[in-house]
Amino acid sequence: MPYRLLRFALSRKHPEPRMFTRHDSLKAGYDVVIIGAGGHGLAAAYYLSRDHGIRNVAVLEKGYLGGGNTGRNTTIIRSNYLTPEGVRFYDESVRLWQDLAVDFDLNLFYSTRGHYTLAHTDSAMRTMRWRAEVNKHFGVRSEAVDAAFVKRGIPSIDMSCGGHAPILGALFHEPGAIARHDAVAWGYGRGADRRGVEIHQQTEVTGIRVQGGRVVGVDTTRGHIATSKVLCAVAGFTPRILDMIGLRTPIYVHPLQAMVSEPVKPWLDPIIVSGSLHVYVSQTARGELVMGASLDPYELHSTRSTLDFVEGLSSHMLDLFPFLGDVKVNRQWAGLADMTPDFAPIMGVTPLEGFYLDAGWGTWGFKATPVCGKTMSHTVATGRNHPLIEGFSLDRFAHYRLTGEKGAASVGH
Amino acid sequence: MYRLEAPAGDWLDRSRPLRFAFEGREYPGYAGDTISSALAAAGVPFLARSFKYHRPRSILSFADHDSNTLFQVDGVPNVRGDVTWLREGMRVSAINTFGGLAGDKARVLDRFGRLLPVGFYYKAFHGRRLFPRWERMFRALTGLGEVSLNAARQATPKRHGFCDVLVIGAGPSGLSAAMAAADNGASVVLVDEALKISGNGAPPALLAAVRGAASISLRPATVAAGYYADHCVALASLDRLTKMRAKAVVFAGGAIEQPAVFRNNDLPGVMLASGALRLMERHGVAPGRRVVVVAANLEAYEACARLGARGVTVSAIVEWRAAPENGPAAAACIARGIPVIQAHAPYEAIRGPDGTVAGLLAVPVNAAGGVESGAPRRIDCDAILMSVGWAPAAQLLLQAGGRMRFSEALQQFVPQELPPGIFAAGRLNGIYDLESRLGDGRRAGSAAAHVGFSAASRPDAADEPRRPTPPLPTVGFDEELRVGERRPSHPFPIVDHPDGKNFVDFDEDLQVKDLENAAQEGFDSSELLKRYSTVGMGPSQGKHSNMNALRVLARFRGVGVERLGLTTARPMYHPVPMKLLAGRSFHPERRTPIDAQHAALGAVWMPAGNWRRPEYYAVPGESRAESIEAEVHAVRSGVGLIDVGTLGKIEVHGPDAGELLDRVYAGKFSGLKIGMTRYGLMLDESGVIVDDGVIARLAAELYYFTTTTGGSATVFRELLRLNALWGLNCALVNVTGHRAAVNFTGPASRDVLRALTDVDLGDAAFPYLAVRCGDVAGVPARLMRVGFVGELGYEIHVPAGFGPTLWRALYEAGRPRGLRAFGVEAQRVLRLEKGHFIVGQDTDGLTDPFEANAMWAVAMQKPFFVGQRSLKILAARGPRQKLVGVELAETARLPKECHLIIDQGQIAGRITSIARSRALNKSIGLAMLSPELAQVGRDIQIRIEDGGMVGGRVAAAIFYDPENRRQKPGAAA
Amino acid sequence: MKIMVCPLNGPRPVAEFAYGGEVRRGPDPDTCSDAEWSDHVFNRSGSPGLKYEWWCHIASGFWFVALRDTTRDAVLATYRADAVRRGLPPAAEETATADAVRRGLPPAGDAT
């Protein structure tokens, strides 16, 4: 029995305080200014205040808390990546996820479901095996499985995929999970707020002041702040912030769309991804199917929705699960994905002293929320990149040291 | 509720009675009923249970603006009972109940309401030990209808539609707009979601004129589900999706009636007045025998008149406003003897013994706009109709980029700024008077028809296309036109109650205090309120709840509604089944011209991009491995034949053809001798290998080259771009589909081929790597002596139509020499024996030519080629991995591709290709390996499936015939 | 779906086109430093704004350059590919030759 619910019955007035303090004005200065109150920015603030004793922090958000990609993603959490640096990084994230709800005292509906990345070609099976082997090497529970295993795990799936792309096997990743994305931002936000961090919504950064090669302040729509440390965690808006300090990166921004069905009684337990069909689907705690596909094909800084997206995704969904024809699509939306050429993030110190970057999160950022908070808070507090993010430094491109995460993209014969 | 006698019910055909089942019991209905109307007529007290508290529910909007009446019908989940035709034999049941509608075990949750405030599920249940159990419980309770896992795939067709003006909504303003547009020469499509179009109060003559107009396509039962860029609107009907492209769109979808919020406003029998009118007039079902109308606008009185006309007694009007309604409609009510209880608000609906409404407590409204709850008046009734206000059906208008502002006078959002080609008319535009709506529709339709046309009156517009008459002057956003004397919506139709259960969002079971509590917890902007409380996130997406939620938030914050802003409007307006969006799902598959031959030979297919290719040819009595080995052996010992027609094939013509190739490939081709071929390696700008092929020079200004199967489209497109950019004097032609191609190879190949061709195959006339043109089996062909599989052999390219002829001729000629057709798997083994890498299998997205040992194919001294500058940087950086050959002693435990090479506990590389080689009597492979280990002779350890280690050794990659003797003159007979 | 006006083929659904990225000149590979070259290879101008971009009508293999507002998804002008060689004017609001005038500028991208 969840006894804490009794509190609600026993008091006339709702006994819950504000999760996020409303601050009337900005202070003249802070030790750290974080741009972006999404999951990453709030997580960094949380760990700064909790683990590094740095509380004089302002998180500036031009919209509403968690209103960027944190509130728009398809909530898949996994660590079945291809490269050693990726696997170590995301595995640490999955580890942190386990305790998050208890840390926050907030239910995140973190639900371990098992995750299948379906392979429809030989070359895809090869890649799944590669990922499985690297995962296993680092103790992450993934396995390349055959068609029979897939059918046992997903009994209702059409193994022939509409007759045109039969499923040969999959990468099965046992720790694959989903969670309530908004709640993660709220949990980190409340935790940071309780420890003295100031979250300022409806506050847009308009400029960054630099003197002698170091950050000295931030200009906002609500006034100027003096600070020597700025963490930029704004996903699809990263290039606009970086323009303020003249920093160039490989980041390019394309919309990423998603859609959700009406709630239906639970029938899909695991999380399904198809590499060839470029679709992924899971069923939420509300019974809705949350579905996504590949990135929009051209650069656009708008979260508009398209019809061909829902058409194509619905078609592929019916290839996998032909009986879903009468399930209705309720809503579609989009976010702005900050992509990089090697499908890995850009994290850590930058050539500008005091300016720290957490960006390049493309389509892979939500699952990394906890480990980003942890590593970026360490990096901001110490001024040096946390070991786990060394492979993601901005200067890797200048040295032609891209990560191999996209390296598995194969061209068949 | 009960069925009125004939002739009540305009849509009913009483000559066709129907029978259907609901919750296992049989009920009657008529053709022309919807599921809900038939159930209501039959007096079923309640039709559903609510989402969270499982409270009994019945009809609310009768317009699919709520999810009170979702049913499971014949295996289909979440059917909208209000707007779905009843059919004979339908089996209907309630959704989200445990043990049926009446005995739903989960109804006990209603009693625990105090324990389940907004966001309660975030506040508990997350202890690590017990969360799995709570999660299972939530999962069992969650969701609405049930998916039938063995339902067949339904393929519905799609249609593309085009028109000048799309009008959404066939009420008075929509009909008027359509007519005006048609009168101006536009082709018009007019859609309405109603199952039948009745005009919704428009003059019958107008409806008849629209029906009769040749240039107006009138489409009932059609939902405009979403607006997309450039006036593309998704129209969803029962059986198909139509993608309508218009030059202009008129949004005339009207307004959505909003509920009053008071305790127990969700009882069965409490409904929206407009819903009750539709139920009565279309289906002949009376809302009750003693009906109370909660009124705050003129529509309430008009409703009373219409009810009275059908013999339905209104026993009282509870008039919320301080001042009485004047005018003929109100006078008619008074003349009927309907008591009007002035300046009273609904406070609490009373539940009767059967769970439906039995009475209403009304309380006086005070000067400040609040209520005096001390001495409520009880009014007995069996139906409460709410007529307190409207919200515009503006979802698609917002998706189209329309900006709205809040009108204090109207108490609704109205359009303020519309993008070009977008128009609004009628109640959606804030205009409520019927005559004004008709006029507003004419204005909008006329303006829409003129999009893209000049005004006829401009003197200099003589040559531009025109419409017959000039557009009407724009009046659109005139407040006076909008408001006049009317106040269609109560500013705050919400009454607090200490015991709650005054519902704002019926889909999500959200009461006033839920929203206030959410705001109190800091979720006090409209987006955060929505996400935390889930208001507006149910199946009706806020149609009946967003406006009141905004009012509650505004009151909490002490600001005007205008300050808060609307949440983002997104498709779909009403949810659309995936089958309509998916359509018939065409999956094109490419087949080579020789496809039928492979099928006849027992080919086992594998996908290669969007082609299909034979993986191997199945022979009875042979296992897959045996067949592949036999195919390999045939090539090595006699002759084999493979279809390589899926390769990309490109011609480049012109004086600069060689120059182009020099720039896009890493090797040098401008100096290639006519009649010779050369391997081509293609890099991207960062120096990474992206494709390869063979380039043949057929003439001074003609090259013919191949690409990988998967790369052909992108390579061709990129070459076109570069050629356009550089402006070289050459032209590219993609002949991939124009040519069939085979590889006829093996020590006996030349001997067999001699008899089929006039080309001189002697070593002097046709050396290794040469290309010749001539006839083979009577077919004009290009022959190339290439070495991919390491045997004497000829890649023969012919026009596509001759592919089967060529194949058959070679096949028949080769049979006496033991020819076997061989597939992709055998080819993989053959090329592996020669150490040839496959781009995308042995190389990955980062492999450069240094790492792939392919620098021999790179001519660094050229003035420029794509990737050249990066190679200089990569040379300095040094390789991060090296592609090497690997040998294993013949072992039962053969590693698979992508098994890892482990050195001192670290990952040092992976196997990229591997096979047992009968010709060499050992297992061979290629591997990517860290440079420190990449020395011939070095021992390595490979970790296989079960975690065990298998030993191997780094070897020179050319395993078979390292000196290429098989290609030398005199090598074969 | 969104309409792209192809200079050769006229208005076509945008799915008939392949996007080729921003038109970028790049430094002279023979004289530039490694840092300048890697900047050209990997870095991008990621902010929204008016950009010259490569677009290809797939079925006809026709490449052209479009000046597009990457926030509003509006093409303001189109150019033949050889204009890149001859030199494009600075990316700025221009008199539209393409869809902007005929269709009206599409809705501004919402930031939420």
* pLDDT tens, residue by residue, A382-394: 999 999 999 999 9
Residue A87 lies in a domain: no
- Chain A nearest-CA residue for B685: A400
Beta partners for residue A359, in sequence order: A346
Residue C29 lies in a domain: no
The reported pTM is 0.95
Structure tokens at A360: 């390049």
Torsion of CA A236, A238, A243, A246, to 10 degrees: -140
Residue A24 lies in a domain: no
The number of distinct structural domains making up chain C is 1
Distance CA C62, CA B306 (A): 64
- CA neighbours closer than 13 Å in the CB half-sphere of residue B871: 24
Question: Are both A404 and A258 inside the same structural domain?
Answer: no
**Smallest Cβ distance to C85: which of B452, B725, B872?**
B725
Q: Do A170 and A32 meet the contact criterion of CB atoms below 8 Å apart?
A: no
For residue C47, the distance in angstroms to the closest alpha carbon of chain B comes to 22
For residue A212, the distance in angstroms to the closest alpha carbon of chain C comes to 23
Q: What stretches in chain B show pLDDT beneath 70?
A: 455-463, 474-485, 890, 971-973
pLDDT higher than 90, residue C91: no
CATH number at residue C11: 3.30.2270.10
pLDDT in tens, B740-771: 999 999 999 999 999 999 999 999 999 999 99
C-alpha pair distances (Å), C8 with each of B596, B723, C80, C82, C97: 38, 17, 9, 14, 13
Asked if B420 lies within 8 A of C73 by C-beta distance, the reply is: no
**Smallest Cβ distance to B578: which of A99, A325, A409?**
A325
- The answer to whether residue A312 neighbours chain C at the CB level (below 8 Å) is no
**Smallest Cβ distance to C73: which of A62, A238, A300?**
A300
- Chain A nearest-CA residue for B98: A265
pLDDT higher than 60, residue C107: no
- CA neighbours closer than 13 Å in the CB half-sphere of residue B644: 28
CB contacts, 8 Å: B570 with chain A? 305, 331-333
CB contacts, 8 Å: C109 with chain A? 300-304
Asked if A407 lies within 8 A of B844 by C-beta distance, the reply is: yes
- Chain C nearest-CA residue for A67: C112
For residue C26, the distance in angstroms to the closest alpha carbon of chain A comes to 14
CB contacts, 8 Å: B397 with chain C? none
**Smallest Cβ distance to B123: which of A5, A266, A314?**
A5
Query: Can you spell out the DSSP letters for B297-318?
Result: SHHHHHHHHHHHHTTPPEEEEE
Structure tokens at A104: 């926050």
Structure tokens at B850: 């240094």
Distance CA B315, CA B321 (A): 19
Structure tokens at C15: 């799915």
Sign of the torsion angle spanned by Cα atoms C100, C103, C104, C108 = negative
Question: Are both A262 and A335 inside the same structural domain?
Answer: yes
C-alpha pair distances (Å), C25 with each of B23, B120, B642, C47: 70, 57, 44, 18
Distance CA B770, CA B302 (A): 92
The number of distinct structural domains making up chain A is 2
Asked if A323 lies within 8 A of B152 by C-beta distance, the reply is: yes
Question: Are both A277 and A331 inside the same structural domain?
Answer: yes
Q: Which of B122, B842, B896 to mutate to test the interface with A (most CBs of A within 10 A)?
A: B122
Residue C88 lies in a domain: yes
- CA neighbours closer than 13 Å in the CB half-sphere of residue B881: 24
Which of these, B32, B59, B63, lies nearest to B43 by C-alpha position?
Answer: B59
CB contacts, 8 Å: B585 with chain A? 162, 315, 318-319
Question: Are both A210 and A259 inside the same structural domain?
Answer: no
Q: What is the mean pLDDT of residues A206-223?
A: 97
pLDDT for C109:
30
Place of tokens 């694959």: A176
For residue B898, the distance in angstroms to the closest alpha carbon of chain A comes to 5
The residue among A306, A322, A339 that closes a domain is A339
- The answer to whether residue B898 neighbours chain A at the CB level (below 8 Å) is yes
pLDDT higher than 50, residue A413: no
For residue C72, the distance in angstroms to the closest alpha carbon of chain B comes to 10
Distance CA B606, CA B823 (A): 10
- Chain B nearest-CA residue for C111: B568
DSSP H or E stretch at residue B235: strand B232-236
Q: Do A154 and A272 meet the contact criterion of CB atoms below 8 Å apart?
A: yes
The residue among A288, A304, A339 that closes a domain is A339
Asked if B420 lies within 8 A of C103 by C-beta distance, the reply is: yes
The residue among A289, A316, A339 that closes a domain is A339
Structure tokens at B806: 């060529």
C-alpha pair distances (Å), A112 with each of A93, A155, A373, B429: 14, 19, 21, 49
pLDDT higher than 60, residue C102: no
DSSP H or E stretch at residue B528: helix B526-533
Asked if B727 lies within 8 A of C37 by C-beta distance, the reply is: no
Residue C36 lies in a domain: no
Question: Are both A295 and A352 inside the same structural domain?
Answer: no
End-to-end CA distance of chain B: 97
Largest Cα separation within chain B, whole Å, is 117
Which residues of C make CB contacts under 8 Å with B? Answer: 1-3, 18, 20, 29, 32, 34, 37-38, 41-42, 54, 56, 58, 61, 63, 73, 81-82, 84-85, 99, 102-108, 110, 112
- The answer to whether residue A152 neighbours chain B at the CB level (below 8 Å) is no
Place of tokens 């890149």: C84
pLDDT higher than 60, residue C96: no
- Structure letter (DSSP) for residue B464: S
Residue C40 lies in a domain: no
Distance CA B668, CA B682 (A): 12
CB contacts, 8 Å: C107 with chain B? 400-401, 419
**Smallest Cβ distance to C1: which of B228, B725, B869?**
B228
Query: Can you spell out the DSSP letters for chain C?
Result: --EEEETTTEEEEGGGEEEEEE------TTTS-HHHHHHHHH-B--S-SEEEEEEEETTTTEEEEEEEETTTTEEEEEEETHHHHH-PPPS-----SSHHHHH-PPPPPP--
Question: Are both A272 and A130 inside the same structural domain?
Answer: yes
Which of these, C110, B729, B35, B784, lies nearest to A255 by C-alpha position?
Answer: C110
Asked if B899 lies within 8 A of A129 by C-beta distance, the reply is: yes
Residue A9 lies in a domain: no
Question: Are both A384 and A332 inside the same structural domain?
Answer: no
| Radius of gyration for chain C, computed over Cα atoms and rounded to the nearest angstrom | 15
Residue C31 lies in a domain: no
CB contacts, 8 Å: B568 with chain C? 110, 112
Residue A79 lies in a domain: no
pLDDT higher than 50, residue A221: yes
CB contacts, 8 Å: B523 with chain A? 19
CATH number at residue A276: 3.30.9.10
Distance CA B331, CA A104 (A): 62
pLDDT for A409:
41
- Assign 3-class secondary structure to B550-571: HHHHHHHHCCCHHHHCCCCCCC
- Structure letter (DSSP) for residue B895: P
Q: Which of C39, C44, C55, C70 to mutate to test the interface with A (most CBs of A within 10 A)?
A: C44
- The answer to whether residue A297 neighbours chain C at the CB level (below 8 Å) is yes
Question: Are both A335 and A352 inside the same structural domain?
Answer: no
- Chain C nearest-CA residue for B875: C34
For residue C109, the distance in angstroms to the closest alpha carbon of chain A comes to 4
Question: Are both A256 and A334 inside the same structural domain?
Answer: yes
Q: Do B579 and B76 meet the contact criterion of CB atoms below 8 Å apart?
A: no
Question: Are both A257 and A319 inside the same structural domain?
Answer: yes
Distance CA C112, CA C109 (A): 9
pLDDT for B970:
72
pLDDT for B893:
87
Q: Lowest-pLDDT range, A64-73, B716-725, B877-886, C91-100?
A: C91-100
Question: Are both A170 and A315 inside the same structural domain?
Answer: yes
- The answer to whether residue B856 neighbours chain A at the CB level (below 8 Å) is no
Instruction: Label the pairing between strands B779-784 and B793-799.
Output: antiparallel
Beta partners for residue B304, in sequence order: none
pLDDT higher than 60, residue A1: no
Which of these, B959, B890, B955, B956, lies nearest to B922 by C-alpha position?
Answer: B890
Residue C34 lies in a domain: no
pLDDT for B111:
85
Q: Do B931 and B882 meet the contact criterion of CB atoms below 8 Å apart?
A: yes
CB contacts, 8 Å: A400 with chain C? 38
pLDDT in tens, C59-86: 999 999 999 999 999 999 999 898 888 8
pLDDT in tens, B331-347: 999 999 999 999 999 99
Chains in touch with B (3+ beta-carbon pairs under 8 Å) read A, C
- The answer to whether residue B98 neighbours chain A at the CB level (below 8 Å) is no
Q: What is the mean pLDDT of residues A132-144?
A: 97
Asked if A264 lies within 8 A of B145 by C-beta distance, the reply is: yes
pLDDT for B338:
96
- The answer to whether residue A1 neighbours chain B at the CB level (below 8 Å) is no
Distance CA B914, CA B161 (A): 54
Asked if C46 lies within 8 A of A303 by C-beta distance, the reply is: no
Q: Collapse the DSSP code of B878 into the 3-class scheme (helix H, G, I; strand E, B; otherwise coil) and give the result.
A: coil
Q: Collapse the DSSP code of A295 into the 3-class scheme (helix H, G, I; strand E, B; otherwise coil) and give the result.
A: coil
The shares of helix, strand and coil residues in chain B, as percent rounded to the nearest 5, are 25, 30, 45
Q: What is the mean pLDDT of residues A198-213?
A: 97
Structure tokens at A412: 């068949």
- The answer to whether residue B579 neighbours chain A at the CB level (below 8 Å) is yes
CATH number at residue A364: 3.50.50.60
Count H helices and E strands in chain B, helices first: 24, 50
Which of these, B52, B58, B57, lies nearest to B112 by C-alpha position?
Answer: B52
CB contacts, 8 Å: C32 with chain B? 869
Distance CA B122, CA B133 (A): 15
Domain, as residue range, for C59: 3-24+46-110
Asked if A302 lies within 8 A of C72 by C-beta distance, the reply is: yes
Chains in touch with C (3+ beta-carbon pairs under 8 Å) read A, B
Domain, as residue range, for A260: 111-176+252-339
Question: Are both A333 and A355 inside the same structural domain?
Answer: no
Which of these, A263, A289, A305, A327, lies nearest to B580 by C-alpha position?
Answer: A327
Label residues B728-763 b or e (16+ Cβ within 10 Å = b): bebebebebeebbbbbbbbbbbbbbbeebbebebeb
